Amino acid sequence: MPEPVLRLYLLGQLNKEQKSRTLIIFGEYKSLRGLSRVTLTDDSLKTLLDSIASLRGYVEGGFPPIDRNTLAKLGEQLFDVLITERTKELFLLATGEVRGKRQFLPLEIVAEDFEIAGWPWEYMYNSASPGFISQDFHPVSRSIFSMTSRSPLRQKRGPVHVLIILGVPPDDKYTTPTEEIKVIEAVFKTYLGREFAIHVLPAADYQKLQNGISHHEIDIVHYFGHAQFDYERREGFLSIARPESEPFRLYAEVFSNLLVNSHVRLVFLNACKTAQASPADNPARSSIAASLLDRGIPAVIGTQFSLPDVSAHSLASTVYIGLLTGRSIGEAVRVGRNAMWFQDKYQFYDWGIPVLYSTNPAQVLFTPRGEQLGWAKAYTSASAEGGQSLLEMLADVSTPGAPSIVVESTRPADTKSRVTVALIDIDAKVGFLPDMANLANRSQNYFHFEVVYIPVPSGYVRTDLGEHWQTFVPRLKDVFLGLPENLKVDYVCGLTQHMIAGESGGDKFSNHFAALVSDNVTNVFVISTYDLRRYSLEAGESFTRAVFGLCLAMLVFSDPRWKIDFHEETAGCLFDYCENRDDIIIGLKKKSFDHKKCRDKIKDPALLAAIDAFYTLDFSTDDRDHIDVAG
Amino acid sequence: VPFRRRGAVGLHISSETCCIAVEIHEYGFGSRDPHTGFACGYVNHKGRIVVDTQTQLASLTDHEARQCLDRIVSAMNATNPDLQLTSPNELGDILKDIAVSHGNLPFTPRRDAELSDTPKAVRLVLLEFLEDPNLRARLEAALRSDRPTLIDPITGALVMAGIIVVLTTRFNLKYKRGKEGKPEIEASVGRDASSEGIIKKFFGLFSSSS
């Protein structure tokens, strides 16, 4: 489930000719809607605009001087414009909900008025719960009114291709482009191993930009270099250095057109003012970042002011780490903002310089390798609850590749026509059990065996019930009896390396080869592999056949239709009780199920065919598990 | 420590005067000691180097001086968006009006790249910021915010923009937008000795022979 987003639409124009103007704020969170109106008088608007101008002046040239408190006051003004009356209720309600779940609540802001759209919303400050909301639970992002249709992002498969466009030569005296490449490469190498490719487009080759984007299936376009906003043309541009010539200006519109219909899912503009827009124009035309969003790029990271060179590297590396570890784009930018704190010559406003334009701040652009988002969240949630919830979640094998207690290779798509048996290796440590199951599955059409590994309760091994250690099956009852339902199987067969002890009809028993876990439930049992390797070796048979022989005996015994019970007589039959445990060798030596008394009780030819198939099965592949008798 | 700037080469401490001197590698002005050719700073009672603004300016490289002027103009542009400090054409028009009102001073609008000695022009403008408390505050703020940033100059006519900043602040020069959106001077620069000196100095950069 994607994170919920609180979307705030600011409707109305900032008509400066009037003495006051009313703006409408429409808030949307899940299925909830809230509408507020806010009136900006001449005085309140002037105060707000002066504060914004002062912030810009201070960031760009240190004048007029402001401090953190001044910034907080501006942030409070911005907060009060947007979060008021019903939208405030919505904000509080949504915040309460996500904080309870330890989630983030991204705020997406869309403004109709071009000037309002350019206000520094990232600095919103909540005085009721003192703090800049972008820094804690509410990564602020921006969006635009756009008619461009966007299909939902599909999960990225295969290597991630990054195109780094350098706006400055590698040996630039005043910036550090090689450092930027090094930092990005290190992050991708750490998190993707070899599953990425970085293509660098040097400033000198800027004419090849279109080819660079088209040739490879580029996922990320990363720009590092100078940029500026052209106040005359009212459009932002990337400034690409040219030897012996004025820099080439790659304007917002031209640049965004290069990326139309591309596979690019993120554009990172690590340069100054790349998200600045003209107050008189649609950001979709004037701002580089918004223009890219309008052309269908799902996420664009830009900057609203000048960006210090040193902060640029830490911002890029932290954002990419966030993205490659499966964080949403909004959260990755939030983490990137906070990482800027640790830079040399850090200024109190630095964290608010980056701006995220996105179609959805909660979207995850890159799922971590070896993990799939769909199940990852369910897994995390079940892990938190633990116990039965976790077991149920892990028993679900509907998502290929998801973590499961069921060995995937032993779970075919369709088992409807077969009797399904879950083989649970409690502690028998049969390493090739999945291979055995697959072989057994191929040899007949009656049963289907799947291998399952589950956590078992401690204390099931008893040392006080016989000469040897015993697996005391009543101890397994609580976990095992629910398994047929959880695993959606007909039978559950546990394998233990110890002999089996238990209680039946009030009597205790021990040293058994097999036993039901409970007298009342006939489809859950445990079989013992104790001494089975030695017995099978002595009988000249495979260990696998010995294991499946026991399992098969319990399966038929558990089926009430046949009314078969284990007999005292040792007849080399599947159902020999084997009071003397060594008698099992006689049964193992048998090459067919020919004990007429028992065979005649089974009326189902398919089941008989399956039993016969087991007898003829070549289990020679389990040579790996042979023991050296002499040793 | 300002002396660690590029272009400031060599560090000499005179034991007698407790004076720290920095040899100015590039074009310097004002604070250069006439005897030693060094710009001077002093060690205060806490042992820290104290450098006056003049010395700081002198120790800037050409690139840093240009960035400093860019920061001043950018801050001014942010707080006074009506000034239109970024349009070379408009800046040229305003200065042309002033040239006319001061006895038709020879003036050809020029972008920075078209000036004969841009570094000198930049420093000349910056130096003028020292003379007025309001301007000095802007200069000192710009010198403090000296982090390298990934930005192009706000305009290709930084020198003309800097001159407008000086004139509007020092002489209360005002202009408004005319009907066609063109800037029109509302209050012109007075013609006292001080202003005449500055105007001549500035417009000397734009005479056709420069």
Contact A23, A38 (CB under 8 A): yes
What's the mean pLDDT in B23-33? Answer: 38
Contact A468, A510 (CB under 8 A): no
What's the mean pLDDT in A305-327? Answer: 91
List, for residues B179-204, the tens digit of each pLDDT value: 666 767 665 666 677 778 888 899 99
* For testing contact with chain A, the best of B135, B149, B155, B165 (most A CBs within 10 A): B149
If we measure between CA atoms, which residue out of A333, A359, A186 comes closest to residue A270?
A333
- Highest-confidence segment of A384-398, A557-571, A608-622: A557-571
Helical (H) or strand (E) element with B97: helix B88-101
Query: CA A241, CA A209: separation in Å to the nearest integer?
Result: 14
Determine the pLDDT at residue B2: 36
pLDDT: which is higher, A96 or A343:
A96
pLDDT at B44 over 80: no
What's the mean pLDDT in A520-541? Answer: 89
Determine the pLDDT at residue B45: 47
pLDDT: which is higher, A589 or A626:
A589
How close does chain B come to A239, measured CA to CA in Å?
A: 7
pLDDT band at A101 (very low <50, low <70, confident <90, very high): confident
What's the mean pLDDT in A345-360? Answer: 94
**Positive or negative torsion for Cα A83, A88, A91, A92:** positive
Residues of B with a Cβ under 8 Å from any A Cβ are 63, 71-79, 81, 84, 86-87, 89, 113, 137-138, 141-142, 144-145, 147-155
Task: Please answer yes or no on whether B63 and A174 come within 8 Å at the CB atom.
Answer: yes
What's the mean pLDDT in B44-62? Answer: 70
How close does chain B come to A50, measured CA to CA in Å?
A: 7
Residue with tokens 């070899």: A194
Query: CA A249, CA A241: separation in Å to the nearest integer?
Result: 9
pLDDT at A81 over 50: yes
Looking at this predicted complex, what is its ipTM?
0.80
Determine the pLDDT at residue B171: 80
Calculate the average pLDDT of chain A.
Answer: 87
Task: Please answer yes or no on whether A270 and B75 come within 8 Å at the CB atom.
Answer: no
Determine the pLDDT at residue A384: 57
Helical (H) or strand (E) element with A258: helix A252-258
* Closest residue to A63, CB basis, from B81, B141, B153: B141
Give the CB-side neighbour count of residue A273, counting CA atoms within 13 A. Answer: 30
Determine the pLDDT at residue A273: 96
Determine the pLDDT at residue B186: 67
Helical (H) or strand (E) element with A41: strand A32-41
pLDDT at B84 over 70: yes
pLDDT at A393 over 60: yes
If we measure between CA atoms, which residue out of A531, A524, A475, A482 comes closest to residue A501?
A475
pLDDT band at A351 (very low <50, low <70, confident <90, very high): very high
Determine the pLDDT at residue A134: 94
Residue type, B70: D
List, for residues A572-621, the tens digit of each pLDDT value: 999 999 988 899 999 988 888 999 999 999 999 999 999 998 888 766 54
Task: Please answer yes or no on whether A308 and B148 come within 8 Å at the CB atom.
Answer: yes
Task: Please answer yes or no on whether B147 and A308 come within 8 Å at the CB atom.
Answer: yes
**In chain A, pLDDT over 70 holds for what percent of residues?**
90
pLDDT at A131 over 50: yes
List, for residues A406-436, the tens digit of each pLDDT value: 776 776 666 667 899 999 988 887 777 888 8
Determine the pLDDT at residue A343: 78
pLDDT at B83 over 90: no
Query: CA A422, CA A140: separation in Å to the nearest integer?
Result: 50
Contact A263, A219 (CB under 8 A): yes
How close does chain B come to A366, measured CA to CA in Å?
A: 28
Determine the pLDDT at residue A171: 83
pLDDT: which is higher, A156 or B1:
A156
Determine the pLDDT at residue B12: 38
pLDDT: which is higher, B17 or A467:
A467
Query: CA A462, CA A471: separation in Å to the nearest integer?
Result: 6
Determine the pLDDT at residue B34: 41
Query: CA A527, CA A513: separation in Å to the nearest integer?
Result: 6
pLDDT at A125 over 80: yes
Task: Kindly report which listed range (A208-222, A226-240, B168-182) carries the lowest average pLDDT score.
Answer: B168-182
**Positive or negative torsion for Cα A472, A477, A478, A484:** positive
Residues of B in contact with A62 (CB under 8 A): 71, 75, 141-142, 144-145
**In chain B, pLDDT over 70 holds for what percent of residues?**
66
Phi-psi region of B111 (alpha: psi -120 to 50; beta: other; left: phi over 0): beta
pTM above 0.80, yes or no: no
Give the CA distances from residue A31 to residues A34, A35, A381, in Å, rounded to whole numbers and listed in that order. 10, 14, 23
